[in-house]
Amino acid sequence: NAGVTQTPKFQVLKTGQSMTLQCAQDMNHNSMYWYRQDPGMGLRLIYYSASEGTTDKGEVPNGYNVSRLNKREFSLRLESAAPSQTSVYFCASSEGDASYSYEQYFGPGTRLTVT
Amino acid sequence: GQQLNQSPQSMFIQEGEDVSMNCTSSSIFNTWLWYKQDPGEGPVLLIALYKAGELTSNGRLTAQFGITRKDSFLNISASIPSDVGIYFCAGPTTSGTYKYIFGTGTRLKVLA
């Protein structure tokens, strides 16, 4: 039982390049989330997926797109990377509303640098 | 919008000491979550609180859901070196149960 996994762990991009961050969970959770964490700050929600087939914007969605590929996988895409997107990205999952559980479980993170 | 303020921002303590930190908001929360983040890792859930006044323990950690629903407290007893890390409070906002906000964290350092 791996929990939440993320790939890659590290990535360096040049301004304007695109890439997709992958996330998968094996806990049969309904809901999944993408956060970014900047130095000395808490986590800010980028996008979330309440259940398979749905996605919605969080606090800081500009410059990102997401895909809920199936119940297990939730990807985050940067179409044209900018230096302001240099950050650590975390994926998380939770059981969702059906169980009235709001406990989120996080992956190890992807450290992205945009030059 | 809703914000979570954590204090203190950082603290240095001696091994064996007890630690207290808190999280406050200007808005009501129905759930409080406490996480710990080790360097280079993702946050790990420590304690979840669902009822005002609730007091929950997890080993040496004890957390309380404030009666006003606008605050929560985390205590660590008899600290050890592996308690080092950043402690975050978090909760779902009133605008949507999937929209969580996180505090800015309390950075804890334990001196052996």
- Beta-carbon separation of A102 and B33 below 8 A: yes
For residue range A83-114, what is the model confidence (pLDDT) as tens digits? 999 999 999 999 876 555 678 899 999 999 99
Nearest-Cα residue of chain B relative to residue A49: B98
Task: Determine if the peptide bond prior to A39 is cis (ω within 30°).
Answer: no
Average pLDDT over all residues of chain B: 92
pLDDT in tens, B64-106: 999 999 999 999 999 999 999 999 999 887 666 677 889 999 9
Specify which residues A37 forms β-bridges with. A43, A88
Contact A102 B44 (CB under 8 A): no
Q: Do B37 and B53 form a contact (C-beta atoms < 8 A)?
A: no
Per residue of chain A (115 residues), give pLDDT as tens: 679 999 999 999 999 999 999 999 999 999 999 999 998 778 999 999 988 999 999 989 999 999 998 999 999 999 999 999 999 999 999 987 655 567 889 999 999 999 9
Partner-chain contact A44 B99, CB within 8 Å: no
Angstrom distances, CA of residue B11 to CA of A104, B71, B110? 26, 20, 8
Lookup result for tokens 């000395």: A40
B86's CB contacts (< 8 A; 6+ apart) are B36, B37, B105, B106, B107, B108
